[in-house]
Structure 1
Amino acid sequence: MNDFAPNGLLRNPHAQSILASTKLRKLRSYPRSRAMLNASKTVVLDCGAGQQLLGEHAAHAVRSKGLITLIHGWEGSSQSTYMLSAGGSLFAAGYDVFRLNLRDHGPSHHLNRELFNSARLDEVVGAIQAIHKTYPQQWQFLAGFSLGGNFALRVAAEAAKADLQIKQTVAICPVVDPAKTMIALEQGWWVYEKYFVRKWQKSLRKKINLYPELGYQNSLFKLKTLRDMNNYFIPNHTEFGDAADYFQAYSIAEDALVNLNAPAHIIAAQDDPIILAEDFARLAESKYLSIETKRYGGHCGFVKNYQLDSWLDERLLELINLRRYPTGDPAKSNQQS
């Protein structure tokens, strides 16, 4: 497909990053996502070990081309603008779509007592296993955005062990080195840190109202920065003693992806203000991993024009179709499969 080549203000990484989640874009994309939303049913997934995650499954009344599971970014949800935009485009193209909420994201705070943290990979693997078992399809795909892209790649690396048959994984601007991402949030444009502090605190207030025994009510009001929050919650509400150990636990740098056994594709931007493009050079080499880096795009943006149309939605669909129909001819591909 055509390369991503925005003009004017759309070359600004901050404009791209903000537009990715703006309500105006959600309004623009709603007509394209309406069919998916009308078909969506809320599902509680049993992820094993007493853990549950919430999601929304949209299926076609007749045979679909396959099932695509989407995972949102940190403090996003199945209702995030980019999730609706991508999901709506994929559904319109004939694929079933499952939009998964990570723990304590969306309206899921009541499902598990313990707090979310990004090292909770087992329950996400369990969720994908439950999705594939409940909605069996010959063609299963997985895609994630930002932290969701990080989770998607880690799930893909566990696929053989977990007996998951994922035909293609796509990660959009995935977190590679969480410690460096946190520094970028702290030292970059102040809007990003303020946004995540506000969203995280709102989520934590929902959680403490449901589980007051977690006991952080008084401390929460004193925490004003991401560093403050990490330094409090990591040693007190995770298995990790400090931020360095925690961030290392979900880093995908170095050898974290060596066990990939099916195609995985990363879409990134050189001007991403949150995920440094240089970090992708630190990923383990794999015949299954390909990386596509664009000059512009910001963080999970890739808005191609002032009508707020998404190049990313088109590219995601193209990548999945290329895996689904490698010959370019659906009839021949179906014969081969």
Structure 2
Amino acid sequence: MEKQRMAHTTRHYKKDSHSMSDFVPHPFLLSPHLMTIVPTFIPRALHPKNLPAGEKCIIEVASGSSVLTYVHLQPDHKNRPTLLIVHGLEGSSESSQVQGLGIKAMSQDMNVARMNLRNCGGTLHLSNTLYNGGMSADVIAVTRHLQKAYGLKEIYVAGFSLGGNIILKAAGELGEDAVGLFAGICAISPSIDLHASVESLNRGVNKIYELHFLRGLTSKIRQKSVLFPDRFDVEKLRLVKTIKDFDDIFTAPDGGYGDADNYYSNASSINFIERIRVPTLIIASKDDPIVPFDSFLSDKLKTPFVTLLAPEWGGHSGFLGARSEATGRDRRDRFWAEHRVVAFCLCKNTEGAE
């Protein structure tokens, strides 16, 4: 039981029993790799299939590029806070984490929007480009669309892994201008230093994750080459052995970065976080096998607008607990980070109403 002692780092967050409860990992998942992998196969107490049917919304984010977002509205949606959720690398709006967080937010009377990054969720035909970790403008465009099309006034944005990096970058880029657009930002296991995360993927047993991501990324190139034969050369795939190879040959040039190193330097949110001016929650485990925790020790995170919850355990976006402190219908659900995000949004919503 000693190994399960609760420990985390916290900064600048209103303490209450629900939002600040310490993470106690499931006793069988103390390995960071098990904690990363196993939760993807565990069903939520409120099954994602219970998520009410949403409106299928195709939103233009740039010339020649649109993204698919599913919008789930409460009956009195204009008077309710909204949670926009962004998935991670090679995920989609159908990812278990996205749907799990979505159903939790809906159960707390929030509106929910599940955004697919470019080409994800079966949308290869909607964009003549690839997606990358620096596409903060897409999140900004989707948020503005939600405001204009549905009259939503209080929009929180949550992101997992690469999606977390994107939303943090968006908030930092906007600075003071984010006030009025984003009510708050919640990033779970965000890859805030892309250099460090890519290097981590290429080490030891982590290559299993790298191969998993590469299968999806290279498959997209093959499919895109059929849709846009003048833009994507499948012959170059034979040169790809690592994520960095892929980014050097495809992602960076496509995104206008030139090469992978320039892409990582310019798209990493660690270089934007200190400019964030809206309430922000970052959840990052100290044993994350993909995103090195050292990234979160940077002085750039020492801002009154950013809260860091850093449990000793949690893996990469895993955070399956030994227990759940939730109440009501989702009391059996042990996905701690998802509960923390909803609690953070409701806390800020209450503060704003006072």
Contact 1:32 1:92 in 2 (8 A): no
Q: How far did residue 198 of structure 1 move?
A: 1.0
Structure 1 stretches lacking a partner, 5+ long: 327-332
Paired amino acid for 2:30:
R
Paired amino acid for 1:289:
V
Residues 56-115 of structure 1 show CA distances to partners (whole Å, capped at 9, x for unaligned) of 111123446311100000111100010011111111111110011111111111111122
Contact 1:47 1:130 in 2 (8 A): no
Looking at structure 2, the residues matched to 33 and 234 of structure 1 have their Cα atoms a distance apart, in angstroms, of 32
1:183 maps onto 2:199 in alignment: yes
Match of 2:217 among 197, 200, 214: 200
Match of 1:59 among 38, 57, 73: 73
Q: What's 1:330 paired with?
A: none
Structure number with greater CO (CA < 8 Å, separation at least 6) is: 2
Match of 1:289 among 306, 309, 316: 306
Number of residue pairs the alignment of both structures matches: 323
Please show how residues 62-101 of structure 1 align to structure 2 within 5 Å. Answer: 62-63=76-77, 65-101=80-116
Looking at structure 1, the residues matched to 221 and 193 of structure 2 have their Cα atoms a distance apart, in angstroms, of 24
Looking at structure 1, the residues matched to 58 and 203 of structure 2 have their Cα atoms a distance apart, in angstroms, of 38
Please show how residues 105-184 of structure 1 align to structure 2 within 5 Å. Answer: 105-157=120-172, 158=174, 160-161=176-177, 164-184=180-200
TM-score by length of 2: 0.84
1:16 maps onto 2:30 in alignment: no
Looking at structure 2, the residues matched to 117 and 313 of structure 1 have their Cα atoms a distance apart, in angstroms, of 24
Looking at structure 1, the residues matched to 255 and 155 of structure 2 have their Cα atoms a distance apart, in angstroms, of 32
Please show how residues 173-322 of structure 1 align to structure 2 within 5 Å. Answer: 173-189=189-205, 190-234=207-251, 236-254=253-271, 256-282=272-298, 283-305=300-322, 309-322=334-347
Aligned residues: percent identity? 26
* Pair 199,249 (structure 1): closer, same or farther in 2 beyond 3 Å: same
- Structure 2 counterpart SS, 1:170: strand
Q: How far did residue 35 of structure 1 move?
A: 3.5
- Structure 2 counterpart SS, 1:202: helix
Looking at structure 2, the residues matched to 159 and 50 of structure 1 have their Cα atoms a distance apart, in angstroms, of 28
* Pair 259,227 (structure 1): closer, same or farther in 2 beyond 3 Å: closer
Q: How far did residue 50 of structure 1 move?
A: 4.5
- Structure 2 counterpart SS, 1:175: coil
Please show how residues 24-63 of structure 1 align to structure 2 within 5 Å. Answer: 24-25=41-42, 28-29=43-44, 31-36=46-51, 38-63=52-77
**Structure 1 segments (4+ residues) deviating >3 Å:** 48-51, 159-164, 305-308
Contact 1:78 1:99 in 2 (8 A): yes
Looking at structure 2, the residues matched to 61 and 83 of structure 1 have their Cα atoms a distance apart, in angstroms, of 22
Q: How far did residue 325 of structure 1 move?
A: 1.6
Looking at structure 2, the residues matched to 5 and 305 of structure 1 have their Cα atoms a distance apart, in angstroms, of 6
Looking at structure 2, the residues matched to 48 and 194 of structure 1 have their Cα atoms a distance apart, in angstroms, of 31
Q: How far did residue 163 of structure 1 move?
A: 6.8
Paired amino acid for 1:239:
G
Looking at structure 2, the residues matched to 261 and 83 of structure 1 have their Cα atoms a distance apart, in angstroms, of 25
- Structure 1 counterpart SS, 2:269: coil
Q: How far did residue 139 of structure 1 move?
A: 2.0
Contact 1:184 1:273 in 2 (8 A): yes
- Structure 1 counterpart SS, 2:275: coil
Residues 152-178 of structure 1 show CA distances to partners (whole Å, capped at 9, x for unaligned) of 111222164467432211111111110
Contact 1:32 1:89 in 2 (8 A): no
Contact 1:159 1:165 in 2 (8 A): no
* Pair 295,284 (structure 1): closer, same or farther in 2 beyond 3 Å: closer
Q: How far did residue 304 of structure 1 move?
A: 1.2
CA RMSD of aligned residues (A): 2.2
Q: How far did residue 320 of structure 1 move?
A: 1.1
Looking at structure 2, the residues matched to 47 and 163 of structure 1 have their Cα atoms a distance apart, in angstroms, of 21
Contact 2:274 2:301 in 1 (8 A): yes
Looking at structure 2, the residues matched to 164 and 48 of structure 1 have their Cα atoms a distance apart, in angstroms, of 22
Paired amino acid for 1:93:
Q
Structure 2 stretches lacking a partner, 5+ long: 1-17, 324-331
Q: How far did residue 227 of structure 1 move?
A: 3.1
Looking at structure 2, the residues matched to 319 and 251 of structure 1 have their Cα atoms a distance apart, in angstroms, of 24
- Structure 1 counterpart SS, 2:202: helix
Looking at structure 1, the residues matched to 203 and 152 of structure 2 have their Cα atoms a distance apart, in angstroms, of 44
Paired amino acid for 1:107:
G
Looking at structure 2, the residues matched to 161 and 107 of structure 1 have their Cα atoms a distance apart, in angstroms, of 33
* Pair 29,203 (structure 1): closer, same or farther in 2 beyond 3 Å: farther
Looking at structure 1, the residues matched to 197 and 319 of structure 2 have their Cα atoms a distance apart, in angstroms, of 20
